[in-house]
Each structure stands twice: as structure tokens, then as C-alpha cells.
Amino acid sequence: MQALARKPTWFLRSAWPWRSLGYLVSGVLLGAVTGTAYLFLAIGGAALAIVLVGLLAFPAMVLLSMYVARFERWRLRLVDPDPAPDPHRPVPTGTWRERRQWIVARLREPVTWREFGYAMVSCLALWWVDLTIIGVALYMPGLLIGSSVVAAEEEPLLSVPLVVLGLVMLLIAAYPLTAWAGARAAMTRAILVPLDERLGEAVRSRARLVDAFEVERRRIERDLHDGAQQRLVALSLKLGLARLDLAPGSPAATQVAEAHELAKEALDELRELIRGVHPQVLTDRGLPAAVDDLAGRAPVPVHTDLVLPGRLPGPVELAAYFVVAEALTNVARHSGATRAAVRARMREARLVLEVSDDGRGGADPGAGSGLAGLADRVAAVDGALTLTSPAGGPTLIRAELPCG
Amino acid sequence: MRVVLAEDGVLLREGLVGLLQRFGHDVVAAVPDATGVAAAVDDTDPDVLITDVRLPPTFTDEGLRAAVALRARRPTLPILVLSQYVEQTYAAELLDSDAGAGAGVGYLLKDRIGDVEEFVAALERVAAGHTVVDPYVVRQLLGRRKDPLLRLTPREREVLGLMAEGRSNAAIARAMVITEAAVAKHISGLLIKLDLPPDADDHRRVRAVLAYLRGRS
């Protein structure tokens, strides 16, 4: 469609008029074939309905339209460069039993019925329009050029302007042809590649991504734990033993003592790093225990009050944990608070988590605090994060995370 | 001392065996996972068990669970649990598993192994029936108690922290560079403030303090 707005010299030399023509011609062919097929199925189904077998023709019509729709989405690429993914949910079809379930699943999906509706409109009306547009676009120029051939025998002078006029009309015809092809493609996309299905896929793929990240973080944590941390402890042990053998105060003893201190500092840093990557106690004991430990590390007293029915889904626990961790870090860094509180309850399959403090307020999500990152983390599990922090305080961070 | 060791890392396991041998202790069994711990303890009847919190096959907290289960079955076996992390949750679970027989119990960060003499001393204290809790954990426990501990002076809190690590009065005096008499004064003061009657037995006193701290968490 955008191609229409470009300069005529560019547009007419581009592939778009030809692509549009191809799109419409294939539309006519598809419409004619499916129209006939539907006609036979409908008539045959109605005729055989009396012996019940005929009734099968009607679900067959619906299922046939899925393949029509698949072909429509496929040929969309002729005029529409955006991808048109299959909106159907994947259902296995290995065994006969699974195939039966597949039919039931497909018949229950709203998108299947949208495709059926589209196929009906397409075979009853759209392909006629395609045919008409192609006809009008090609008939007049064809007539003019054709008559010029006839005219050439009788009035050779007349044939030249006829050919020129025919060619000009052919060029002009490229415009309505492309316009209709664009409109038809847009309509096809709107019906067969519905926006909400595409969003649904985006949400699912984001959830998969979050899961993949989580698996990866656990792997990293495990690798650090089994690898670097173990070696550092062993190194620190060896250095500790070496110090026993060295005369106190000797240059070697001083060097080894320094190396020993460095190894211990590295262990400290590594431990904090690993905790940031993936908190072990969260995996082992769940959110309340992990929040208690966070509260224990906070520099201000933190009152914890978490009432949960049991373990929550892993991604929710992790998101909630990082909300509390980041919120308590902000309390310590920016708020000037003397105390804080963490509260969590389940409300209709949603975890409602609140972190409050009595600090000076004025927390700004944009000011490089981790709050923006937290919002992303919460959004990744389909939750919502709200922040109330008037100047003068108090600050309340509230996260709602669906657990179902 | 005869020691059973449960640790999955080969480097660390060998290192610990070497370290303990050097200090004249005998590692009678060294197992790489939690499933073998109980059998090794039953077979060798050791003086003390050292176990990592996190062991195969699940790499979660199997070592801790094995330790808690063993304490229920063999209440007199002293156990030292080594952890990669400072988790008061684990420490509390371990201390709460005390069946009342008064066997020693310890919870230390793995990092402490590097301070070899202190580590071996802590192990010996555990084997002798004392309670040893990693200073980090103690700091966490003290850091979040509000009410009664706010009544303590900083000096008294420091003494309480060192007590919770299982140190004797003499050791506390050395660590704080004060006299033993001053330590005793601080202790009786803080015990009164915490509503705990003074007691001649160090070890029970530490337990009372820890139980008190835990009860308030």
C-alpha cells in the first residue's frame, strides 16, 4: 500500500503491480476452487444428511477453511512483507486418538470459526471482486491495443494513438489493482492473523524467555558454587596451612598472609554475587524464609508478615524475592527510614506483596533506582507494580503477581 | 578425634582430610553425597560429623536434612554443618533440631575453613558439646532483634555475639582486649537485661541466649 504513495516512475517500475496482480489472480483461482469444493460439500452434506454420514460434511467444511486460511496467510507474502504466523495452538497429532482430540480442539478454537467466516466471504464475494478488478484493469487497455491491431489494416495512422492510449490506461490500471490487493491483504491479516493472538504469542514467548533465564541463572549459580567457590575455599585452606609452616614475621609469612586475606575477600564477594544470581534459600525454603533472611541482612529493623498457603510458582517467588530485595536496598540507600515492613497475602490466586518504610519518600522510578528494573521483572510474570512515595514519606511499594 | 566428613567437592574433601590429619584427627569416612552419611556414621561411630549443607543428588539442602535426621536418631552425635551461605533459616533449623541431649552443634560458613586453627578449634568445641554459630549469622540475628536487645549497651551486645560463637570468657576477654572480670560483669549485666538468670555453665548459657533470640525471630 505504501508503494502507491511513491513516485509513479518508481512505483510503475517496481514489482508491486506484478505482485498485486499475482495476488489477485491466485485469489481468483483459490476462490473458484474452494467455492466449488464448498458447494459440493454443502450439497452433498445436505443430500446425505438423511443417512447422517452427510452431517460430517459440515465439520469438514469448517476444517477445510483452516487450510484455506493457511494458504491465504501463506500467499499474503506476495503483497505483505510482515510475517503471518499460524494463530492455532499446537496440538499433537501422533495417534488416532490425538487426531480426534485435535479435531475437537480445533472446532473449539474461536480462530477456527473466524477462518470459516473468512473462507465463506472469500468464496462467495471476494474472489468475484478480484476477478472484476482484474477484468476492468486489463479489459479496456486490452480492447484498445487489440483494436489497434484491427485498425492497423484499415487505418494505420489510427493504430498508433490507440496503442499509446492502451499502454497509458494499462499504467493507470496498476493503481486500482495494487490498491485493491493492499486492501484485501489488510483485511485478510485483520481476520486471519488477529492482533490478540499475536500478543498472546508475545506473552507466551516472554514467559518462555523468563523461564529460560531462570534455568540459566541456576546453572550459573551451580557452576560458581561447584567450581570457583570450591576452589577458592580449597585455596584459602592451603594458604592457611602454609601459614602454619612459615616462621611468624618472615617476609614469606607476610606475603602468604596477604594472599590469604585476598582469597577470603574474593570468597566474600563471590558469595554475594552468587546470592544475587540465584538465592539458594528461596529454592529450598520458599518466599517467607528467603524474605526473613533478606530482612536479617537489612541495616534497619524490618518487620515481616507473610501468610501464604504454601509454595508459589517458581517465577512468582523469584519476582517477589527481587521486589523485596530491591525495595529493602532502596530503603537502606535512599529513604533514611528507621524501620520497614514486608507484608504478603494471597488474594484470589494473586500474590499481593507490600514493602513499606517510614522514610522521607520522594522515590523516583526514573532516577536510576532499581525500580524500573523491578517493574520489568514484575511485568514479565504478568504482574503489576505500583509505587506511592509522596515527598515526606511514607513509601509503599506494592506488587501484585498472578499465581495461576 | 574420629571424624566423618560429607562433602561433594573433591578438592575441598581432600583438603579437609589433610587439614584434620595435620591437627591429629582421624577422618574415618569421607562421603561425597547425603545418601551415604547415615550409613557411614552407623559404621564408624565417630566423635563428630562434618557435613556440607548442599550435597548431591539434588544439590539443595540435603546435607542439612541428613544432619537434622541424624540428630533425631543419634542425639549424642555432635554435628558441624558447613554452608556456602549465611542463612539464619538453616542455622535455626539445625539448632531447633536439638533433642535436648546436649550434643554439640555448629553452623559455619565454609570460608572459615581457611582460618585453619580457628576452624579446628571450633570443630573441637562442637565435639566437646558446645554450640558454635558463624559470626555472620550471629550478626544477622542480633541485627534484627529490636526490643530487649535495644536495652543492651554496644559492649554487652559484642559480648553476647562472642558468647553465641561459643567462646569462653577468657577468649572473649582476649578478643575484646578487656579483663576477664570485665567480661563476667558484662555477661551478668546482659543476662539480667535479657531476663535470664546467671548460670555457671557456659554452654547452656549460650543455648539459652540463642533460644531466646530464635524465639523472637
- Best residue in A220, A226, A237 to probe B by mutation, most B CBs within 10 Å? A237
Residues B102 and B194 placed together within one structural domain of the fold: no
Residues B83 and B178 in one domain: no
For chain B, how many structural domains are there in total? 2
Q: What is the mean pLDDT of residues A39-50?
A: 80
Instruction: Tell me the shortest Cα–Cα distance from A233 to chain B, in angstroms.
Output: 6
Name all contacts of B18-25 with Cβ < 8 Å and 24+ positions apart: B18/A241, B19/A237, B19/A240, B19/A241, B19/B113, B19/B116, B19/B119, B19/B120, B20/B120, B20/B123, B22/A241, B22/A244, B23/B116, B23/B120, B25/B1, B25/B120, B25/B123
**Gap between the Cα atoms of A141 and B134, Å rounded:** 93
Clarify whether residues B146 and B113 are in a common domain.
Answer: no
Q: What is the pLDDT of residue B127?
A: 92
Q: CA B105 to CA B210: how far, in whole Å? A: 12
What type of residue sits at position A129?
V
What is the number of alpha carbons within 13 Å of residue B82 lying toward its C-beta?
A: 24
B contacts of A264 (beta carbons < 8 Å): 111, 114
Question: Given a cut of 50, is residue A232 above it in pLDDT?
Answer: yes
pLDDT tens-place string over residues A380-394: 888 888 888 888 878
Instruction: Kindly indicate the confidence band of residue A25, based on its pLDDT and cuts at 50, 70 and 90.
Output: confident
Residue A382 DSSP SS3? coil
For A280-402, which CATH class? alpha beta
Q: Which residue of B has its CA nearest to A257?
A: B115
The reported pLDDT for the residue numbered B215 is: 44
Q: Are B122 and B147 within one domain?
A: no
- Tell me, yes or no, whether B16 and B109 share the same domain: yes
Question: Is there a cis peptide before residue A315, judged by omega within 30 degrees of 0?
Answer: no
In B, minimum Cα distance to A237 occurs at B114
pLDDT (tens digit per residue) in A278-319 = 888 888 888 998 898 888 788 888 888 999 988 998 889 989
Residue B17 CA, chain-centre distance (Å), reads 20
CB pairs under 8 A between A and B: 103
Do B86 and B152 belong together in one domain?
A: no
Q: How confident is the model at residue A217 (pLDDT cuts 50, 70, 90)?
A: confident
* d(CA B40, nearest CA chain A) in Å: 23
Closest Cβ–Cβ partner in B54, B85, B113 for A237: B113
pLDDT at site A235: 93
Residue range(s) defining the domain that contains residue B158: 138-215
- The domain that holds B207 is classified in CATH as 1.10.10.10
Average pLDDT, chain A: 83
Find chain B residues with C-beta within 8 A of A275's C-beta.
85
The predicted structure's pLDDT at residue A198: 53
Residue A345's DSSP bridge partners are: A307, A352
Beta pairing partners, A302:
A340
A-chain residues within 8 Å CB-CB of B111? Answer: 233, 236, 264, 267-268, 271
Distance from CA of A314 to the nearest CA of B (A): 15
Same-domain pairing of B52 and B119: yes
B-chain residue closest to A305, CA distance: B217
Helix A110-121 / helix A57-75 crossing angle, nearest 10 deg: 80
Beta bridge partners of B5: B30, B50
pLDDT score recorded for residue A32: 84
Domain final residue pick, B133, B154, B173? B133
Read off the pTM. Answer: 0.56
Query: Which of B101, B133, B165 is a domain's end point?
Result: B133
How far apart CA A310 and CA A308 sit, in angstroms, is: 6
Interval B109-156: pLDDT, tens: 888 998 999 999 999 999 988 888 888 777 766 655 445 666 677 788
Both B27 and B99 in one domain: the answer is yes
Interface contact A240-B141, CB threshold 8 A = no
Average pLDDT over residues A44-49: 78
Nearest neighbour of B140 by CB, restricted to A240, A243, A296: A296
Taking contacts as CB-CB distances below 8 angstroms, the residues of chain B near A241 are 18-19, 22, 116
- Identify the domain boundary among B98, B113, B133: B133
Check which CATH number belongs to the domain holding B99 and give it: 3.40.50.2300
User: Which residues partner with B199 through β-bridges?
Assistant: none
Does residue B129 share a domain with residue B24? yes
> In angstroms, what separates the C-alpha of A205 from chain B's closest C-alpha?
29
Q: Which of B128, B88, B48 is nearest to B213 (CA)?
A: B88
Q: At B33, list the grid cell.
A: 553425597
Q: Name the one residue in this structure whose C-alpha cell is 524464609.
A: A289
Which pLDDT tens digits describe chain B residue by residue (217 residues)?
A: 999 999 988 889 999 999 999 999 999 999 998 888 999 999 999 999 999 988 888 777 888 888 888 888 888 899 999 988 767 777 777 777 765 566 888 889 888 998 999 999 999 999 988 888 888 777 766 655 445 666 677 788 788 888 777 778 888 899 888 988 888 888 877 777 776 655 555 555 665 566 556 544 3
